[in-house]
């Protein structure tokens, strides 16, 4: 029991340590904080909605400020020269430094996916959340939509370049439970489907075995029939040969009986019984005749 309690305490302590590491403060000076907040507003204006020049990122926005499909098409198909010009412009005006064009396009794709699920943001929650990250830090701004809040997470490297922008919906506890239940059902359904498939495969193996066995029995019957026919033919040939030999023996018996009768001076073969017929020595036969 003591070992179990000790183990539980160690796990809880480790979780607390991990939580402390995750919530480690980011050391930024006032200038860097202003730059980061200005970058967030610029990203909102570039990726989310086109804010009026006299409006701040905070407060309510109008849905009419959303970019059109034609605008998105242009944003996602910038030439290399135009991209370099825009980078120079953003660095000069807003000190906004995006690592690459691919980072910019992925940020737009992430937002469009979020917009399809939650709609166009109408405002921004006051305040930003900073957190340390590997080789940099993240800043999170919470966007307000009619469906649910969406967190815009901006990842910076050590040189204050933006390396990733992601838009993550903030689901309620009930929604998370529902999603977890759906994922569980999907996982269990997949497992059962695979098990049923395996069951059918195993049953098919049994069916194949039965088919092979029936085919083998059929071949054995054909072979047995052929063998039986061959045996019958052989027996018939043997019987025919024996009958032929018997007929030949009867003829030989008749000839010998007639010869003996002539030798004895008898005109009839009655009373003669041939017990067996054996080949006689030629010389003995001649001496007997002499």
Yes or no: say if 99 and 163 are a contact pair by the CB < 8 Å rule.
yes
pLDDT band at 67 (very low <50, low <70, confident <90, very high): confident
pLDDT band at 154 (very low <50, low <70, confident <90, very high): very high
> What average pLDDT does the structure give for the chain?
78
The pLDDT, as a whole number, for residue 174 is 81
pLDDT band at 49 (very low <50, low <70, confident <90, very high): confident
Place of tokens 């933006």: 162
CA 150 to chain centre: 34
The pLDDT, as a whole number, for residue 237 is 76
Alpha carbons within 13 A on the beta-carbon side of 289: 8
The pLDDT, as a whole number, for residue 102 is 94
Higher pLDDT, 20 or 253: 253
pLDDT tens per residue, range 99-151: 999 999 999 999 999 999 898 888 888 889 999 988 889 999 999 888 899 99
Q: What is the mean pLDDT of residues 21-44?
A: 80
Is residue 264's pLDDT more than 60? Answer: yes
Rounded Cα distance, 121 and 67, in Å: 12
pTM of the model: 0.56
Q: Taking the domains of the chain in order of start, what are their residue ranges? A: 24-170, 184-283
Higher pLDDT, 229 or 77: 77
Q: What is the mean pLDDT of residues 36-58?
A: 77
């Amino acid at each position: 029991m003591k070992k179990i309690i000790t183990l539980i305490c160690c796990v809880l302590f480790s979780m607390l340590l991990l939580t402390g590491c995750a919530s480690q403060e980011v050391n930024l000076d006032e200038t860097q904080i202003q730059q980061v907040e200005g970058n967030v507003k610029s990203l909102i204006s570039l990726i989310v909605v086109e804010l009026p020049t006299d409006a701040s990122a905070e407060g309510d926005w109008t849905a009419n400020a959303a970019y059109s499909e034609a605008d998105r098409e242009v944003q996602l198909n910038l030439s290399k020269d135009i991209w370099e010009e825009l980078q120079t412009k953003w660095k000069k005006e807003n000190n906004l430094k995006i690592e690459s064009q691919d980072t910019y396009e992925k940020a737009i794709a992430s937002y469009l996916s979020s917009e399809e699920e939650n709609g166009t943001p109408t405002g921004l929650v006051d305040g930003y959340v900073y957190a340390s990250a590997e080789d940099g830090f993240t800043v999170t701004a919470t966007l307000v939509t009619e469906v649910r809040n969406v967190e815009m997470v901006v990842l910076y490297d050590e040189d204050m370049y933006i390396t990733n922008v992601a838009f993550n919906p903030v689901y309620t506890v009930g929604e998370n439970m529902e999603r977890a239940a759906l994922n569980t059902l999907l996982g269990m359904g997949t497992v059962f489907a695979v098990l049923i498939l395996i069951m059918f495969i195993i049953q098919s193996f049994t069916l194949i075995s039965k088919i092979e066995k029936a085919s083998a029995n059929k071949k054995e019957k054909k072979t047995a029939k052929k063998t039986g026919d061959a045996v019958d033919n052989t027996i018939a040939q043997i019987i025919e040969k024996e009958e032929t030999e018997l007929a030949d023996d009867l003829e030989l018996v008749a000839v010998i009986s007639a010869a003996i009768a002539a030798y004895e001076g008898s005109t009839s073969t009655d009373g003669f019984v041939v017990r067996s017929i054996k080949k006689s020595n030629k010389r003995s036969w001649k001496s007997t005749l002499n």
